[in-house]
Chains A and B, each alone.
Chain A
Amino acid sequence: QCIFRVKRNKTSYLIQCDPTETTLNIKQQLHSLIEQPPSNQRLILLSTNDVLDDSKTLANQKVENDAIVALTLRKGFRLC
């Protein structure tokens, strides 16, 4: 069980997840919060500046408890 923060502009989303979940799972979880499909989202782990890979699990990409992840969106799409 881990909790990390997804940040964009002035908003933080606290996301609860299991380290065995994939990045895509997280994007789907975010989809319900921000109305942007996973294909428009890009997540970047702030501690290493690595872009998270959809198919890999969080554990494999060293997203740990209390990590901070930045959310960027495809150009031309904005949060409602």
Chain B
Amino acid sequence: MMGKGEAPAPREPEEEEEDTGGVVKLISAEGFEFVVDKKAAMVSNTLRNMLTSPGGFSETRQGEVRFPEISTHVLEKICQYFYWSLHYSRLHPDSLATCLCSIASLACLCASLQFTTCMID
């Protein structure tokens, strides 16, 4: 993705620092919770916007995002992809396509195709 992982850090102090200790909670349609590193969640531009936009949205404040349309299996894969992307996309840019393929075939099986693909863009 893009290399501005560290860029937002200096801007943080203006927002109230939540006590989630740098993790965010993603909640699937069935109510299963995935606690992931905020850095990993920020791989997704969609989540980055949800978690950093000013204006005191509950997602930003509590570090908790609900996905009523994403099933647990898909959300778990997405979380794994975040970490995978964080570590390997910089080292092996070529292999990114392979990973996206396996995620895409998974996504085809689920009804939430559109949202899923927009999460991993």
Residues of chain A having any CB pair with chain B under 8 Å = 1, 3, 5, 10-14, 16, 32-33, 66
Contacts and interface: CB of A to CB of B under 8 A. Distances in A.
Contacts, number: 35
Main secondary structure on B side of the interface with A: mixed
Main secondary structure on A side of the interface with B: strand
A12 B37 contact: no
Given A3-B80, A3-B83, A14 B33 contact: no
B33 A12 contact: yes
Given A1-B87, A33-B21, A33-B23, A10 B32 contact: yes
A11 B35 contact: yes
A49 to B, nearest CB: 21
